[in-house]
Amino acid sequence: MVHSPASGRPPIPSPAAHDAIISMFANQADWLIPNVSGAVHPPAWAPPLNAEDLVLAGSHGVAITPPEPDAIDAGLDWLGTTGSSEVLVWSAATNADANIHLLGRGCRDSFNPRWMWRDLEHPLPAPRVETDVDLMVATERDRDALLLTATVPYVARNQISRILDLATDPRHPRRTWLLIARQKRRFSDGEVIGAGILHLGPDGHDTTAGLYNLGVDPAWQGKGIGTALTIGICRIARDNGASRVALNATPSGERIYRQLDFVIAGDGQTWFMPGSILRHRPSHAEIAAAEAIARGEVDRLDSSIARWESLPNGESPIGYAARFGRPETIRWLLDHGADPDIAPMWSAGFRAEAIRAASDGRWLNMPRGPESRTPLHEAICGNDPDLVRMLLAAGADLTIRDSQWHGRPLDWANAFGHSDLATLIEGAM
């Protein structure tokens, strides 16, 4: 069963939720292909998707593959020929084997899309907007205003022309609409302050419509504009033969969608591969080592692997073993000379070893991973007050910034809303 909507309707049976996810996932693949360039691998691919398929979305092409290693490699090889600068890999559901294969090839964790859907048989409410705006389907005459938009989330200037072309090309049956909200002005067109995209699947396929990139300028949020755009998109979908609308929601958007009787079907999984990894892929030996650590197969590991600084995804061997819950592999790595990695050792139960490592300045403030996080950054990310106290007692440096967000440990505690950890850090200053 899946979560029930705010209206109190009964939960959706799992088979229906599964079908909704697969339909949404296929619609998203069909939307991504023309949106990123039209290039797809394999060239003959057409909906529907298989439930386990992965969608590898590069900046200049989309590969659809089963989650097997050889197929993933073939898709990445092809994307490398397209000039793609990076890759976002989508899975309709969490997939443990795909996770091992992708992390071992240098991918990193990304976000978990929350799939939601609404049956269009149920009546749609009338929108109530608390400000003067006009909602309209974008046309060519809106191009300049959209290109000037800098504060509406998900409206990217480098994608506007392609999206408008898809939405207005008279040579093909219409399957894409861009709905926009413009501020009302008496004598001129107002600024674009909100937008959302509707995409229908190919004729003859599933009648699930996809809602994408819905966002409202932060200065105009809380006035009903996002709700009105959602209702408007649902009406367009219904009027063009769709039986339901599906989307993947952000935490902030989920509240709006629940109020409009969208229900949660499930959560997906995504991974990110930087362009540097796509261009310089890990060796077979590096991939094999990462997969052996993930599966706890220490008999497949050479002792030299323990002394590697990092695995293809940027984590230390100990951090990687801890991620997959492999304490026996952590013990093997330590016994074979691995450098300590304090936070994952602590979380995996190697607390005496972590305390001993924290007494050595080499490891206490060692930045690790693609974001150059120190053990104290990791402790805050994991919301672990005991580890924070231990590191502070050991004299952890409170001034070091990570390389992604450029935040000190106190900045991280405040950003995550961990006020108790912020108090501990302030007390150590």
Tally of helices (H runs) and strands (E runs) in the chain: 18, 13
φ, ψ for residue 398 (rounded to 5)? -95, 0
Q: Which residue has the higher pLDDT, 41 or 102?
A: 102
Tell me if 292 sits within 8 A of 300, measured CB to CB.
Answer: yes
User: Is the confidence at residue 29, as pLDDT, over 60?
Assistant: yes
- Most confidently modeled range among 30-44, 99-113, 157-171: 99-113
Other beta carbons within 10 angstroms of residue 7's beta carbon come to 11
Phi-psi region of 106 (alpha: psi -120 to 50; beta: other; left: phi over 0): left
Handedness of CA 329, 335, 339, 344 (dihedral sign): positive
Nearest to 79 by CA among 57, 94, 97, 99: 57
Task: Tell whether the model's pLDDT for residue 27 goes beyond 70.
Answer: yes
Question: How many Å separate Cα 138 from the centre of its chain?
Answer: 27
What global pTM score does this model have? 0.88
Check the CA dihedral 297-301-307-313 and report its sign.
negative
State the pLDDT at residue 4.
42
The model's pLDDT over 264-315, given as tens digits with 9 standing for 90+, comes to 999 999 999 999 999 999 999 999 999 999 999 999 999 999 999 999 999 9
Burial of 373-394, coded b for 16+ CB within 10 Å and e otherwise, reads bbbbbbbbbeebeebbebbbeb
**Domains contained in the chain, CATH given:** 14-116+269-275 (no CATH), 133-242 (3.40.630.30), 299-427 (1.25.40.20)
Chain position carrying tokens 């499930």: 266
Residue 7 pLDDT more than 90? no
Helix or strand holding residue 364 (H, E): helix 361-364
